Amino acid sequence: DTGVSQDPRHKITKRGQNVTFRCDPISEHNRLYWYRQTLGQGPEFLTYFQNEAQLEKSRLLSDRFSAERPKGSFSTLEIQRTEQGDSAMYLCASSFRRDGSGELFFGEGSRLTVL
Amino acid sequence: AQSVTQLDSQVPVFEEAPVELRCNYSSSVSVYLFWYVQYPNQGLQLLLKYLSGSTLVKSINGFEAEFNKSQTSFHLRKPSVHISDTAEYFCAVSSLNNNDMRFGAGTRLTVKP
């Protein structure tokens, strides 16, 4: 399967712990996006990478959140000192177009539950 | 910045009936419009998109959407739905110079036998 893969699919953690999610995009895609989705809402943009450069961050991405894409391939999203409000589905998507017309290919998401 | 409003959070419909899922957007620049579908326990996948040209776009499974610039709408329609169309449908907007795609809150389509 050559789609976008995310790991882990589910993560349960206690408040205050750190968590890290990994995303492997489609190999030829140079753009990688992170979105967050809560119950009853559509995906909300968090950040995006063009190759290894993080070019845009939403104000939803507080200082506790950090994302990297070290070699322009896979990406990680780390949440430090998790809070119950961080409970959500974290979606990764990739694209190969250089403008907004490109289709986003989504992974199945990583569901975070903060107790 | 662009935004999207999906006017119906849930749409129940009987099998073989027609359906329309409504989507309105706001933007100060030219837009690209998308409908994504999320089947239970699966990731979002593209259903259809409008980039330019003909305002009526169609998917391979019988859905169609029409871009209406004057009404800033991109409603999704299907003349006869199947049980297998039960899913969450998301309208999304982006533009030439925007790096993020903005999504609506979604419409849950439930097709009943």
Task: Give pLDDT tens digits for A41-72.
Answer: 899 999 999 888 888 888 888 899 999 998 88
Considering only the beta carbons, identify the residue of A43, A100, A109 that sits closest to B96.
A100
Task: Let me know how long chain B is.
Answer: 113
Tell me, yes or no, if A41 comes closer than 8 A to chain B by beta carbon. yes
Cα A86 to Cα A21: distance, rounded to the nearest angstrom: 13
Contact A22, A11 (CB under 8 A): no
pLDDT band at B11 (very low <50, low <70, confident <90, very high): very high
Using the predicted structure, report yes or no on whether residue B6 has a pLDDT greater than 70: yes
Strands in A1-115 per DSSP E: 5-7, 10-13, 19-24, 31-37, 44-50, 53-57, 65-68, 75-79, 88-95, 105-106, 110-114
Cβ atoms of residues A67 and A52 within 8 Å: no
Task: From B11, B4, B28, B30, select the one nearest B90 (Cα to Cα).
Answer: B4
Asked if B65 and B73 count as a contact pair (C-beta separation under 8 A), the reply is no
Q: Give which of A33, A101, A108, A110 to mutate to test B binding, by max B Cβ within 10 Å.
A: A101
Distance between CA atoms of residues B92 and B71, nearest Å: 16
**pLDDT tens-digit map of B42-55:** 889 999 999 888 99
Using CA of residue B77, residue B78, residue B83, residue B85, what is the dihedral sign? negative
* Residue bearing tokens 């800033």: B72
Angle formed at CA B43 by CA B41 and CA B49, multiple of 5 degrees: 135
How many CB atoms lie under 10 A from the CB of residue B84? 10
The strand pairing partners of A21, in sequence order, are A77
Tell me the CB-side half-sphere exposure of residue B26, using CA atoms within 13 A. Answer: 4
Residue B40 gets which letter from DSSP? T
Structure confidence by residue, pLDDT tens digits, A75-111: 999 999 999 999 999 999 999 876 667 789 999 999 9
Give backbone dihedrals phi and psi of A86, rounded to 5 degrees, phi first: -80, -10
Nearest CA to A26 out of A50, A2, A52, A53 is that of: A2
Contact A55 B99 (CB under 8 A): yes
pLDDT at B21: 98
- A13 neighbors A113 (Cβ within 8 angstroms): yes
CB-CB neighbours of B27 under 10 Å: 18
Residues of B with CB under 8 A from a CB of A: 4, 6, 9, 32, 34, 36, 41-46, 49, 51, 90, 92, 94-106
